[in-house]
Amino acid sequence: MRNILLLSSLVIMIFTSSVFTQELNQTDVSTQDKLLLQYNTDVFDDNTKTWQYFSIEYQFKETFATFIPRANFANRFTNSEIQLEADAYTIFSKKTYLYLNTGFAEGKVFPKSRAGIELYQVIPGNIELSAGYRYLYFSPSKVNIITGSIGYYLGDYWISFRPYFVNEPGSEKKSTFTIIGRKYFVDGENYLSVKAGFGSYPVSGNTQADFFRNDSKFFGVDYQFYILEKTTIQLGFLYENEELNINSSRSRYNFLFGVQKIFP
């Protein structure tokens, strides 16, 4: 089973030639095998039909890296689509690690391909720095994103600031700024997070429909906790006020439910 998953991850990485990254910190870089199922739904206060998003992933460790193959399903308006992804991260030392991701889809809902790379480094003072690049290909649009983060650890607490600077040829340059705070409890799998930010780049989604806006202000919270010794539940809520154009705005309510099984 592991050989099949590893081969799938490598095939996706080679044939798409792209990498991407998500919000994470050193505490999240675990070497345990995990199975995760997540469901997201977006509800709007205008006449937009509710959006659906579902993903399933399996994390496993090999000698040179940890891999996370994933399948995503999204429904936006009248279109539905499946996206295949593969995350990987290599830990060079206790203070340095590299996070990679790649994925592809048909391009009706998700980007046809996406790319990125981010290097994380912990420096003295319990400070974590990162620098990275993103690329999204929505045929025919090509989106380039420069990002990075500054994180700080204080006991069981972690706080991080992350900007996004977006350049899409033929469009106005965009930016988004986010801050996230997290409190850990039993271990790295049991936490409470609070996130806030503003800007035009959609940090809450990466489908084509998420880019149809000028600006956004958002606030969210999520809580992950154990229900069994090796099983966690994740509950999340995110509120966004989206400016679609100069004369139109709407409220967006995102609800998250996740179940994770951790294997010995």
Q: pLDDT at position 21, please?
A: 35
- Cβ atoms of 256 and 235 within 8 Å: the answer is yes
Return the closest-CA partner of residue 142 out of 113, 118, 121.
113
CATH of the domain at 215: 2.40.160.40
As a whole number of angstroms, the distance between CA 104 and CA 184 comes to 33
Q: Provide the Cα torsion 236, 30, 180, 168; round to 10°.
A: -90
Say what percent of the chain tops pLDDT 90. Answer: 61
**193-248 pLDDT, tens per residue?**
999 999 988 776 678 888 778 889 999 999 999 999 999 999 999 999 999 887 88
Return the closest-CA partner of residue 96 out of 133, 147, 131, 134.
131
CB-based contacts of 150: which residues, under 8 Å, 6+ apart?
127, 128, 129, 160, 161, 162
Structural domain range at position 37? 2-263
Q: pLDDT at position 210, please?
A: 81
Q: pLDDT at position 14, please?
A: 35
* Per-chain mean pLDDT for the chain: 86
How many of the other CB atoms lie within 10 Å of CB of 217?
13
- What is the reported pTM? 0.84
Per the structure, how many domains does the chain have? 1
Q: pLDDT at position 261, please?
A: 96
Q: Given a cut of 60, is residue 9 above it in pLDDT? A: no
Q: Given a cut of 90, is residue 54 above it in pLDDT? A: yes
**171-204 pLDDT, tens per residue?**
778 899 999 999 999 999 999 999 999 998 877 6
